[in-house]
Structure 1
Amino acid sequence: MILNTDSNRTELVEGVGIYIHIPFCKQACFYCDFHFSTSLKKKDELIDALIVELELRKSEFENDTVATIYFGGGTPSLLSLEEINQILNAVFLNYKVIENPEITLEANPDDLSETKILELAKSKINRLSIGVQSFFETDLKLMNRAHNATEAKQCLDLATQYFDNISVDLIYGIPGATHEQWQENIQTVLDFNIPHISSYALTVEPKTALESLIKKGKIEDVDEVHAETQFHMLIDELKAANFQHYELSNFGKSGYFSINNSAYWKGKKYIGIGPSAHSFNGESRSWNIANNSKYIMAIQFKELPSEVEILSLNDKYNEYVMTGLRTIWGVSLQTVETVFGSDFKSYILNQSEKYLKEELLYIDGDNLKVSTKGKFLSDGIASHLFKI
C-alpha cells in the first residue's frame, strides 16, 4: 500500500525553491567532491544553525511562495525524523509554502530500513532520491559506497510500497563495468517500476580519492568512449520504457520530472541553506562557506557566512545557454533576443552554425536544441556558444 502520493504533480509549478545541505556522511565515496564530514559531532549544532539561517533569510522570499524543498548532501537520510521535522517546521513557520510542495530527501540504501521508510512516508517528505549507483558489488566497492547490492534492492522493494514518487541515481562509465552489467543495472531499476532516473558518468574530480587511486594505478582510468556508449544505451532503453529524457542526466515518466531541478534549469530563484550551499535570485549568486565549524560560528552571531557574485549580462546569457541546452526545452531564440538583445541572438546563431551542420544541434520552431547525437557533448557545445 502506497501511503505517500501527490496527485497534483506537475513539471511547471510557479514558486521558488529552498535547498538544505546536510553535510554529513557515514564514509567518503571515492569520486565525491561535495562538502561533507564523516564526523557527526557537530550535527546538533549544525541543525540549530540551519534553522537560524532559515529565519535570518526569510525576507529574501517575503514576496514569493515556496514550491519545492530539497534535502541534499552529504547524506540527509542520516537525520532522524525528528531532526527533519525540526527543519521543515522552520520552513513552514518562516515562509509561504504552496499547499502541496515537492519535498525531496536524498537517501542512501543502507539508511532506508522498513522502519525509516514508514516514518518518512508518514511525514511531509513526498519524494525520495535514492543513491543506488550500481547493483554490482565490484562497482560499489570501487566507489567506496556505504551500502551493498542486497541493501540496494531491499530498499527499493520497501520504498516502492510506501512512496509513489521515487528517483534512483545510477552511475555509468565505471572502470571494469561491462555493457551487459550496465544493461542489467538499468533493467533492475525498471523492474521496480521507478518513475525517475538520474544518471551520471563517473567523473574524476581533482583532489578526490578516485583521482589518487587512478594515479597510483590501483584503479583503471575512466574511458570516455566506454562511458558514451553506456550513455546512449541508457537513452535507448529508457525511451523504450516511456521515459522522457528531459535533462542531460535526468529521465522521468510523465508527471514525474523533478520540479525542484526543473526550476533550477528554468532560472527560478532558490535559497541554499547550510555550509557550501548556493543561492540564486536572478541577479546574483551567493554561496555559504564550506566549513561546518565556521558556518555554525557565524550563524550563532546572526551573520551569513557567504560570498556574493553579481551576474553580468554575459553571465546571465551563458547560464541560460548552459542550462537550456541540457534540457528538453532548449534555448529559446526569442528569449535570447528579448532578454539579452538582437546582438546576442545573432551571436548564438553564428556560433551554432558549425554544430547545426554536424547535426549536433537543431532548431525546433523557435528553440535551439541538442540532438541525440550531440547530447553527450552538450556542455562542451554550450561553452562554444558562451559570450566571454
Structure 2
Amino acid sequence: MSGIYIHIPFCKQACHYCDFHFSTSMKKKDEMVLALAKEIQIRKSEFKNETIETIYFGGGTPSVLTTTEIQFLIDAVYENYAVSENPEITLEANPDDLSKERIIELSETPINRLSIGIQSFFEDDLTMMNRAHNSAEAKKCLEEATKYFDNISLDLIYGIPDSSQNGEQAKQMSNEKWKQNIETALSFGIPHISSYALTVEPKTALHKLIQTGKIAKPNDDLAQEHFSILVEILEANGFIHYELSNFGKENYFSKNNSAYWLGKKYIGIGPSAHSYDGISRSWNVSNNAIYLKSLEDNKLPNEIEILSIADRYNEYIMTGLRTIWGVSLERILDEFGNEYLDYLNKQANKFLIDNLLSIEGNILKPTQKGKFLTDGIASDLFFINLEK
C-alpha cells in the first residue's frame, strides 16, 4: 500500500497558531495547480511497482481550489499511477468553503472522505484563533456534509486559554466548554475526530500575542484534563482511540494517516511536502516561487536524507507508541538487532515501573496514564548518536 499527499499551499487568512507552509495570496493558484500536476507526472517512476490506495489533499486549505481543479489533480494521479479499485480520497476543507452547493459538487467527484477544520464551535475561540469561519458555518456545513458523505472527520483543538482569568473558576468553565464542543461534534454522527492541544509555535501570531500578554499562555495541566475528558467521552460513544490524536469508529480509521504511522511509502507533492520510501526521506522546498520555477525547469525542488538505522529505529518508536499497534519488541530485534532491543528495554524500565508503559504480547504500549505523555516518553527511548 502506498499513498500520495498533495499539499495545497494557499489559505484565505492566517490562523494565529498555524506554522504550516501557505500563502494568503491566490495570484499564483492557476500556475501552482499545473505545477502540482507536473510533479505528479515527473515522479511516477518512484512508484512504478506500487499501487496507490490513498490520495490526500492537505494544506494550507485545499478547499480553496475549485472542484474542477481538484478533479484535474485526481485525474493526474490516475493517469500516472496504478490506483486501487476503491482508494480513500480525502479533502481537507474549511467550513466557510462548504456551502450546500459545494458539498453536492464534491460528492459527485471521486472524493469519498472529508476532513473538516472545525477547531471549536464557540465564537470566541474561533475569533482568538483567527479562523475564517464562524460557529454557525461550522454547524451548517456538518449538517449538510453528513447528507452526502458517510466518511467525515473533524478537527477540534483543546487546551485553549479561557477568556476569563478567574483561576479555578475559569478552569472549570473551560472544562465544561470543552465537553460542549465534544458533545456538539457527536450530535452530527461524525465517525472520526482528530483532536490536538493548542501549541505555541515560534514565529506565529499566537506566539507574539502571548509574549505581549494579549492572550494567556496555554496551561499544560488544563490540556491534560481536556485530553482525559476527550478520551473518556469518545470511548464511551464507541470511538477507538487508535492514535494519540485520532479517534475513529470501527472501519473509519484514516487509511492515509495509518499508513504513515505504520511506515508505508508515500509521495508528497507540492511545496513543503514530505516523502518516504522506506530507506530515505525527502522534502520539497517551502517556497512557492522557487517551487514553481523548479518545476518550470523540470527539476524537483527537494532535499533527500538517507535514514540511518538509528533514524529508522527512532521513527518507529515515535510512531509506534502513538498508536494502538504499539512497538513490537520482536520487530525491534528482527530489524535493528540485540543492541537496540537491550537499549529499549533498559530505557523503558522506569516507565514500566511508573505504570506509564506496559508490555502485553511482546508489544510495548503507553498505559492510559501514559498516553498524554507519549511524545516525551518516546524521546527518552530514542537512540542518540549511536553510529558516531
The TM-score range, normalised by the shorter chain, is: over 0.9
Partner of 2:161: 175
* In structure 2, C-alpha distance between the alignment counterparts of 1:181 and 1:150, rounded to whole Å: 17
Partner of 1:242: 238
Partner of 2:310: 314
* In structure 1, C-alpha distance between the alignment counterparts of 2:238 and 2:39, rounded to whole Å: 41
* Counterpart amino acid of residue 94 in structure 2: N
Partner of 1:80: 66
Task: Choose which of 59, 62, 65 in structure 1 pairs with 2:45.
Answer: 59
* Identical amino acids, percent of aligned pairs: 63
Q: CA deviation at 1:83?
A: 0.2
Partner of 2:336: 340
Aligned length: 374
Aligned residue for 1:116, secondary structure, equals: helix
2:220 is the alignment partner of 1:224: yes
Q: CA deviation at 1:343?
A: 1.3
Instruction: Trace 1:270-309 onto structure 2 (pairs within 5 A).
Output: 270-309=266-305
Partner of 1:37: 23
Partner of 2:113: 127
Partner of 2:166: none
2:174 is the alignment partner of 1:188: no
Aligned residue for 1:49, secondary structure, equals: helix
* Counterpart amino acid of residue 327 in structure 1: T
**Structure 1 regions of 5+ residues with no counterpart?**
1-14
Partner of 2:57: 71
Q: CA deviation at 1:342?
A: 1.3
* In structure 1, C-alpha distance between the alignment counterparts of 2:180 and 2:213, rounded to whole Å: 28
Task: Choose which of 307, 315, 324 in structure 2 pairs with 1:328.
Answer: 324
Aligned residue for 2:325, secondary structure, equals: coil
Aligned residue for 1:132, secondary structure, equals: strand
Deviations 1:118-140 (A, max 9, x none): 00111000000000000000000
2:32 is the alignment partner of 1:46: yes
* Counterpart amino acid of residue 260 in structure 1: N
Partner of 1:9: none
Q: CA deviation at 1:74?
A: 0.3
Instruction: Trace 1:100-111 onto structure 2 (pairs within 5 A).
Output: 100-111=86-97
Aligned residue for 2:5, secondary structure, equals: strand
* In structure 1, C-alpha distance between the alignment counterparts of 2:187 and 2:294, rounded to whole Å: 47
Deviations 1:147-168 (A, max 9, x none): 0000000000000000000000
* In structure 2, C-alpha distance between the alignment counterparts of 1:25 and 1:372, rounded to whole Å: 37
Aligned residue for 1:378, secondary structure, equals: helix
* Counterpart amino acid of residue 68 in structure 1: T
Partner of 2:257: 261
Partner of 1:114: 100
Q: TM-score, normalised by structure 2?
A: 0.96
Deviations 1:17-54 (A, max 9, x none): 00000000000000000000000000000000000000
* In structure 2, C-alpha distance between the alignment counterparts of 1:364 and 1:79, rounded to whole Å: 46
Partner of 2:76: 90
* Counterpart amino acid of residue 354 in structure 1: K
Q: CA deviation at 1:62?
A: 0.0
Aligned residue for 1:135, secondary structure, equals: coil
Q: CA RMSD in A?
A: 0.5
Q: CA deviation at 1:346?
A: 1.0
* Counterpart amino acid of residue 266 in structure 2: Y
Aligned residue for 1:285, secondary structure, equals: strand
Aligned residue for 2:133, secondary structure, equals: coil
Partner of 2:168: none
Deviations 1:227-267 (A, max 9, x none): 10000000000010010000000000000000000000000
Q: CA deviation at 1:183?
A: 0.2
Partner of 1:3: none
Aligned residue for 1:129, secondary structure, equals: strand
* In structure 2, C-alpha distance between the alignment counterparts of 1:213 and 1:190, rounded to whole Å: 32
Q: CA deviation at 1:296?
A: 0.4
* In structure 1, C-alpha distance between the alignment counterparts of 2:67 and 2:363, rounded to whole Å: 44
Segments of 4+ in structure 1 off by > 4 A? Answer: none
* Counterpart amino acid of residue 86 in structure 2: N
* In structure 1, C-alpha distance between the alignment counterparts of 2:360 and 2:115, rounded to whole Å: 32
**Structure 2 regions of 5+ residues with no counterpart?**
164-173
Aligned residue for 1:256, secondary structure, equals: coil
Aligned residue for 2:253, secondary structure, equals: coil
* In structure 2, C-alpha distance between the alignment counterparts of 1:46 and 1:248, rounded to whole Å: 33
Partner of 2:193: 197
* In structure 2, C-alpha distance between the alignment counterparts of 1:192 and 1:63, rounded to whole Å: 41
* In structure 2, C-alpha distance between the alignment counterparts of 1:361 and 1:190, rounded to whole Å: 30
Aligned residue for 2:381, secondary structure, equals: coil
Q: CA deviation at 1:370?
A: 0.5
* In structure 2, C-alpha distance between the alignment counterparts of 1:103 and 1:366, rounded to whole Å: 34
Task: Choose which of 130, 139, 148 in structure 1 pairs with 2:134.
Answer: 148
* In structure 2, C-alpha distance between the alignment counterparts of 1:56 and 1:187, rounded to whole Å: 46
* In structure 1, C-alpha distance between the alignment counterparts of 2:71 and 2:367, rounded to whole Å: 43
